Amino acid sequence: MKEFIEKSIGMEVDIKDIDYNGRLPMIYSSLYDFKIASMHNIEWLIAIPKEKINLAQLRKNHRQIEKLLDMRCALYIKNTSTYSKNAMIADGIPFIVEDKEIYLPFLGILLNSARERTIKPVQRISFLTQKMILTAIYEKWNGITVTKAAEQLDITKMSASRCFDEIDFFDIPILGTKGKSRVINVSDDIKELWNSIEVYMRNPVINIFYINDNLNLPVFGGMSALAEYSMISDNKYPTYVVAKKDIKDLALKDRLVDIKKDEPGCIIQEVGYVVSFGKGDAIDPLSLLLSLSDNEKADERIEISIREMLEEYVW
């Protein structure tokens, strides 16, 4: 830390450990280590997260630490996404990204020693990126580069690179570096990971078709898929999923029924992607979870079945 800061700003900096247990709530001592930095009679605090903390919490903690100690505080982060970094700059939050960048606005310093990618802002995650993330979770990717990810999903390197950019933009905590390459590393605690990223995930269902007869398609969705993964009973008529690229081949226009008048033979959900999972006869568990409505999830039987499914097949 000291060597990087001094080399970057061209000045000698004195950095010492400090204990704020008596002046800060215990929560901050459990989340951060602290150091005091000084140069030219200017002192500031360096707060070092002990584990990865999301941007919203970093903002809140930083504001409180500065207020309680009445001292400027810089966050020392091992790595962060371009989105988070730009957000902190916009908020005027001082930070040091280990061996890469220094932003100390109270000293008029913004130095970047690493070549940064330009990440285009996106409104919501793409289905392809979501498919990549889910595949990475199920296959427990570790050290998977853009090239390898492209091979795994049978897509171009350019498409895979855009997926990595989206993962970076949304600060999904599976992106790291190995040498000069970006890699995907999935943590062992899938439940904790999912709880942190579910908010970014989309319902994969694009359209729903009610069909006059049972087409006996190969991949179940909805309640039919949940029945495959748990002990819950299926509806009277099955639900299937079909990828968007394949939906036209079914020529569904002449097979539709008005469910207000007639009971369908089956339901077809058009989905933005299909992830290979298990025997391949049902939509993958996490996509199934995302596809269920709030009303369905409020049903106690369904809630229990979802929990059973996740415990057995995902966590």
Alpha-carbon separation of residue 116 from 4, 10, 180 (angstroms): 18, 22, 11
Q: What is the pLDDT of residues 172-209, one digit of tens each?
A: 889 888 877 889 999 899 999 999 899 999 999 999 99
* Residue 37 is assigned to a structural domain of this protein: yes
Alpha-carbon separation of residue 100 from 90, 106, 112, 274 (angstroms): 18, 19, 6, 38
Tell me, what's the pLDDT at 62? 93
Domain tally, the chain: 3
**186 and 91 share one domain:** no
Domain that holds residue 181: 127-196
| The dihedral sign for the CA sequence 170, 171, 173, 178 | positive
* Residue 117 is assigned to a structural domain of this protein: no
What is the Cα–Cα distance from 312 to 315, expressed in whole angstroms? 7
| The dihedral sign for the CA sequence 166, 172, 177, 183 | negative
The residue among 112, 145, 166 that closes a domain is 112
Stretch among 19-28, 30-39, 241-250 having the lowest mean pLDDT: 19-28
* Residue 85 is assigned to a structural domain of this protein: yes
Q: Is 176 helix (H, G, I), strand (E, B) or coil?
A: strand
Look up the CATH number of the domain holding residue 135.
Answer: 1.10.10.10
Q: Is 255 helix (H, G, I), strand (E, B) or coil?
A: helix
**106 and 171 share one domain:** no
What is the Cα–Cα distance from 150 to 144, expressed in whole angstroms? 10
* Residue 31 is assigned to a structural domain of this protein: yes
The residue among 112, 136, 162 that closes a domain is 112
* Residue 237 is assigned to a structural domain of this protein: yes
**32 and 107 share one domain:** yes
**106 and 14 share one domain:** yes
Confidence of residue 8 (pLDDT cuts 50, 70, 90): confident
Tell me, what's the pLDDT at 42? 84
Burial (CB count within 10 angstroms: exposed 0-12, middle 13-18, buried 19+), residue 286? buried
What is the Cα–Cα distance from 28 to 58, expressed in whole angstroms? 11
Across all residues in the chain, what is the average pLDDT?
Answer: 89
Structure tokens belonging to residue 273: 């992607």
**245 and 182 share one domain:** no
Look up the CATH number of the domain holding residue 67.
Answer: 3.40.1350
Does this model's pTM top 0.85? My answer is: no
Q: What share of the chain is helix, strand, coil (3-state, %, to 5)?
A: 40, 20, 35
Q: What is the pLDDT of residues 235-270, one digit of tens each?
A: 899 999 999 999 888 888 888 888 888 889 999 999
**17 and 40 share one domain:** yes
Output 191-195 pairs: Cβ under 8 A, ≥24 positions apart: 191/310, 191/314, 191/315, 193/137, 194/137, 194/286, 194/314
* Residue 168 is assigned to a structural domain of this protein: yes
* Residue 150 is assigned to a structural domain of this protein: yes
Please choose, from the candidates 108, 23, 95, the residue with its C-alpha nearest in 3D space to the C-alpha of residue 59: 95
Across the range 102-126, mean pLDDT stands at 70
* Residue 121 is assigned to a structural domain of this protein: no
The residue among 165, 196, 227 that closes a domain is 196
